[in-house]
Structure 1
Amino acid sequence: MKIEVKNLAKKYGNNEALKGISFTLEEPKIYGLLGRNGAGKTTFMEILAGQILASSGEIKIDGEHPFDNQRLTESICLIKEGDNFKKDLKVKNVLKIASYFYPNWDGQLAEELTREYNLNMNAKVKSLSKGMGSALGIIVGLASKAPITVFDEPYIGLDAAARKKFYEILLEEYENEKRTIIFSTHLIDEVSLLFEEVLILQEGSLIMQEDADMLRNNTCAVSGPADKVEAFIKGKKVIESKKLAGMMTAYVYGTSEEAREFGLEVEGIPIQDLMIYLTEGKKGA
């Protein structure tokens, strides 16, 4: 399903959560939606899922608006950090309701994941620990088989082993049946290898949309004598630079091979570090 975002803005009083962002998600991929707290990620995801209206601009999914559009909303599954389900429902009731709402619901997968996470089917949502509540959200998100599945910090309370299992199952399900998966997370290092495309928001504005492999291959940290580094980075996009005792390190867009041929030390920049540098509000961003 094609997602088109045009000049999308959302205000809460005097606060601009989104400032006229525009981009297109053309095809089923795993997208990383990144940014610091308050960047506008959750607001965007709620508008996408048809849960709230934009102040101006629009989102279209296959040419239609998602708000108050049942055909679209049953094709979009948004799993947030918490409060996804009514507190008095039992786990089995949550899964039953989800099976009615999502046309592509995979009951067998839901059962397998319930066993995997050792979830008590008769427990009420309000009695679940944070980890078990997250597990329930993950189960609904994966088993929904929704063409657009959105995870907003879905793993709160899960330990490292449980999160790893989630990433493995997510990738396996995606490989079996492609869908658009939008993943917002602060644990970027854990999941960055899953991303096929990365979008970075800063204070309500979109500051980057890039193919993940291009980012990995074309951004690097180069180090060496200051004069040599300055000569290399001339005319290039510089994200960040620092000097110390005649030496210099710069984070740049440029091929690592070119930097090595220039006689500089080269290291890759993890996507998490790149996001931090770009959202620090410094000149290079």
Structure 2
Amino acid sequence: MTTVIEVDHLTKRYRDTLALDDVSLRIEENTIYGLLGRNGAGKTTIMSILTAQNFATSGEARVFGEQPYENARVLRRLCFVRESQRYPDDATPRHAFRTARLFFENWDQSLADSLIDDFQLPMKKTIKKLSRGQLSAVGVIIGLASRAEITFFDEPYLGLDAVARQIFYDRLLEDYAEHPRTVILSSHLIDEVSNLIERVLVIDRGRMIMDESTDAVRDRAATIVGDTAAVETFVAGREVIHRESLGRVSSVTVLGTLTSDDRAQLRAAGLDAGAVSLQQLIVRMTQHAGRDAAGDTAGDPATTEEGAFR
């Protein structure tokens, strides 16, 4: 496959805050990526740098083999949709779509019209008077109908209700199947987007901690449940990323694919092995990475941090 984005040792510092810390990655064409992580992890920063809306402190980012900043050849091939998109006070959705049609050479007006109907978007109301969900729909429609070679969605769909989000997911997959392109989808709704994405990128505290295919990630961990002594015997020597206990019963999440011998050992010990969802895995891994960064691996906190992903 062809590499369309190359990031090498990218670092971004805001005074005392290290937003990106030596990030390197490769993005391939015609693939849907999930850029996942907690609030403040660095997702928006890296997308802003790739779309020339921010500067790196050090390192290099190339899009289509070129620097994106003040590069019309690159920027006209990108679409960056973000929740905080600004529009003129008197702009209506109709104005926004007309402007987008002029900018994006692959713009599909029939797709835009269909999406406007799907989202029941009022076209004559000024954007500043739209509800949050309607404003999100404007961004989603531009992102899909632009058919840009690389489209970044920085959680512009958070204002959509569950039904509207499902419309977005369905239409994204339908149009991607007919018109493949590179899509980078930033989201806290990890389980909702897990069936969309083909490759998982996880950033935590400015560092990239996962870059794998979604299929590989699904077998990345397992949760072992049962008698505490038996569980501890089984997980000895394995990398534990989460541990909970209640009385004599423990639930321990470990990294690594379970072999047939492992499963036979579990059955003999009367232990259960449960699958770990993509969201659970990422929550556990970021918790684990955070404790390692703090130099504290003695135990797990009593509460989870899943709220940070919503």
TM range (shorter): over 0.9
In 1, Cα distance between the equivalents of 2:64 and 2:234? 45
Map 1:106-255 to 2 at 5 A: 106-255=108-257
Q: Secondary structure at the match of 1:5?
A: strand
Residue 242 of structure 1: how far off its partner (Å): 3.3
Q: Determine which of 257, 262, 267 is the counterpart of 2:265.
A: 262
In 2, Cα distance between the equivalents of 1:26 and 1:170? 18
Query: 2:118–2:167: 8 Å Cα contact kept in structure 1?
Result: no
Q: CA RMSD in A?
A: 1.9
In 2, Cα distance between the equivalents of 1:236 and 1:146? 44
Call closer, same or farther: CA 1:274–1:103 in 2, change over 3 Å.
Answer: same
Q: Between 39-48 and 11-20, report the one with greater CA deviation.
A: 11-20
Query: 1:82–1:133: 8 Å Cα contact kept in structure 2?
Result: no
In 2, Cα distance between the equivalents of 1:213 and 1:84? 37
Identical counterparts, % of pairs = 42
In 1, Cα distance between the equivalents of 2:158 and 2:25? 29
Q: Between 182-191 and 130-139, report the one with greater CA deviation.
A: 182-191
Q: Determine which of 6, 9, 32 is the counterpart of 1:30.
A: 32
How many residues are aligned here? 285
Paired position in structure 1 for 2:45: 43
In 1, Cα distance between the equivalents of 2:240 and 2:199? 21
Q: Secondary structure at the match of 2:283?
A: helix
TM-score computed with the length of structure 1 as normaliser: 0.93
Amino acid paired to 1:90: T
In 1, Cα distance between the equivalents of 2:204 and 2:112? 36
Matched, 1:100 2:102: yes
Amino acid paired to 1:252: V
Residue 125 of structure 1: how far off its partner (Å): 1.4
Q: Secondary structure at the match of 1:21?
A: strand
Q: Secondary structure at the match of 1:109?
A: helix
Q: Secondary structure at the match of 1:156?
A: coil
Matched, 1:274 2:277: no
Q: Secondary structure at the match of 1:22?
A: strand
Amino acid paired to 1:282: R
Q: Where do 4+ consecutive residues of structure 1 move more than 4 Å? A: none
Amino acid paired to 1:95: F
Map 1:54-65 to 2 at 5 A: 54-65=56-67
Residue 84 of structure 1: how far off its partner (Å): 4.2
5+ long unaligned stretches in structure 1: none
In 2, Cα distance between the equivalents of 1:121 and 1:254? 51
Query: 2:28–2:182: 8 Å Cα contact kept in structure 1?
Result: no
